[in-house]
Structure 1
């Protein structure tokens, strides 16, 4: 297991789903974890259960709020050594019914949400000659899917951002990578499955089977499996790994 004692990690979208699993894994490895998100109750629960030490209530699309939260958390717990940029969202619609505003909204959250955090934390990491940035992207950053063109566009941008930053920071001691999971068994996916099941009359098992039809393992990915990849990329063992888009996808890619 990676040993992260003495490291301070920021996990955005850390109150639930993949972000919560990542926070728990980093904490178990000894890191002091600060979770950032919009839902106070979920963040409080992460701290109460020992998955995080501190919390920041902020929207990653609000640079001023993010900056203020990071400044306070660093004053309390020391500078951030690790950024796990996990906050994001997906929306579905046929391309012809996808308004430009949906493209803007998802780009703002999925891409600029990472930019807003990285631009604050990266200078300090470079100055200390040490740091890890891990973006939680998606297989949608590596291939196309129908009816989610705005989401796919934003996730491709995330992978491009990671590759560019990795080149810029290659000689600084900072690594920048992406993790690209396939459909993951989170509460958000389960809520989507339930909604489709209710709308179509199909069983939830049938809906999930459709989700994973292109996954050779024929199952949803576990959040803990994504967290394990993030944990590795955050560790000293991954010091030579940068600019990669690591798939956790059951063979889909």
Structure 2
């Protein structure tokens, strides 16, 4: 992808130190974007409002939200676990939308891209809280994307699975023989998608070449064997 695709675009990346944040910041900058890397938790409306005010005019907001995924049987999920995961992954979304969307709609230009998870698209044992939160993200993005498409604002999401990142697949996990066997057993690609491959696709969706996509959920994954 030519560097000119993102040249001059101001792109905010949230949770820039988590999940896909480091790879996104690196690739977007290489493609010519001015990257605003935020590490704020975005736990309150005030925190989001202050971040957007500091960031100034934005062409793209890349909503990258990460939290450790609990591995709890459904009958043992506590209110605290549920609230903590939804607080990190779901609650920031409407706060961000409220702050950035009005200006994008007014100027009829802008993009919001969520880095989501395909865990919402397949039942996974002992992951009910995390999968539910990731599913809520995707449903929200689809609805908002349809709502603002007529204003020439594009809101989409990537739903990824088996993509290399330190939050969910740290080195100690990748080096575990059991995980390596799992890749061979469940992933037709036979490997993790690299962070760069994922980030380069996200960069494309941030570019003007992706103006035709609205309210879409794009799977990025090594694939899996369904049961």
Question: Structure 1-normalised TM-score?
Answer: 0.82
Aligned to 2:22: 20
**Aligned equivalents of 2:72, 2:183: Cα separation in 1:** 16
Instruction: Give the 5 Å matches for 1:76-225.
Output: 79-89=57-67, 90-191=69-170, 194=172, 204-210=176-182, 213-225=185-197
From 26, 34, 45, the counterpart of 1:63: 45
Could you list the runs of 4 or more consecutive aligned residues of structure 1 that deviate by over 4 angstroms after TM superposition? none
Indicate how the Cα distance of structure 1 residues 237 and 156 shifts in structure 2: closer, same or farther if over 3 A, else same: same
**Unaligned runs of at least 5 residues, structure 1:** 38-57, 198-202
Tell whether 2:217 aligns with 1:245: yes
Q: Secondary structure at the match of 1:207?
A: helix
Describe the superposition over 1:78-101 as per-residue Cα deviations: whole angstroms up to 9, x where unpaired.
x01101111221222111111122
From 48, 54, 62, the counterpart of 1:72: 54
**Unaligned runs of at least 5 residues, structure 2:** none
Q: RMSD in angstroms over aligned alpha carbons? A: 1.9
> Does the Cα contact within 8 Å between 2:28 and 2:35 map onto a contact in 1?
yes
**Aligned equivalents of 1:242, 1:205: Cα separation in 2:** 40
> Does the Cα contact within 8 Å between 2:163 and 2:222 map onto a contact in 1?
no
**Aligned equivalents of 2:191, 2:47: Cα separation in 1:** 38
Question: Structure 2-normalised TM-score?
Answer: 0.90
Tell me which of the two structures has the higher relative contact order, counting C-alpha pairs closer than 8 angstroms and 6 or more residues apart.
2
**Aligned equivalents of 1:156, 1:213: Cα separation in 2:** 25
